Amino acid sequence: MEKFTLQQMEELLAVHEMAEFNLDLDATMATLVDNPVYELPTLGWHIEGQSAVRETYARMLPGSDKRNIWADKRVHAVSENELCREAYVYFDTENGRVTGRYFVVMAFEGNRISGERMYMDTAFAKAMTEILGPDFGDVPGVSRLEDMSPPPVPRLDRAAEHAANPNH
């Protein structure tokens, strides 16, 4: 696994976000690996591949511009190849401007972004659902996240399992 510094991840993310703000779909996609994987767990979506992620951005970029979405990071945390960002997100709704929250895990590979997992509060989730549209699940490469999840683990003696598991 490649190791990235916070500065390296933020530099690539700045290029990616500038492309988003410029509504430049091709430049946004140029910051991604050949087979990006995105997840929107709050909305229940798994998005895989250039075509599906491109369609996601084709909907998100103009939708984000129309709603004047802006984020202010609260926390950045890093692992060897992932950047986690918690942020306030501000956007327009039919009832005026509101503040929401999101948490995203961005993964990096080579000199590109390999994927994102974005968790949203209810206000931002509602806006994103509207932006993506009612037919989003029909996009090839978009599937229900539950269909991609591993099966549940068996019921546990939680206290004993917790104490024995160094990865809890």
Give the model's pLDDT for residue 157. 75
Give the model's pLDDT for residue 29. 98
Output the tens digit of pLDDT for each of the chain's 168 residues.
688 888 999 999 999 999 999 999 999 999 999 999 999 999 999 999 999 999 999 999 999 999 999 999 998 899 999 999 999 999 999 999 999 999 999 999 999 999 999 999 999 999 999 999 999 999 999 999 999 999 988 877 777 777 888 876
- 144 bridge partner residues: 45
Q: Which helix (H) or strand (E) holds 126?
A: helix 122-132
Question: What does the DSSP assignment read for 35-62?
Answer: EEEEEETTTTEEEESHHHHHHHHHHHHH
Give the model's pLDDT for residue 76. 87
CB neighbourhood size of 155 (10 A): 7
How far is residue 18's CA from residue 21's CA, in Å, rounded to a whole number?
5
pTM for the complete prediction? 0.89
Nearest to 47 by CA among 129, 130, 108, 116: 116
Give the model's pLDDT for residue 168. 67
Q: Contacts from 154-159 at CB under 8 Å and sequence distance 24+?
A: none
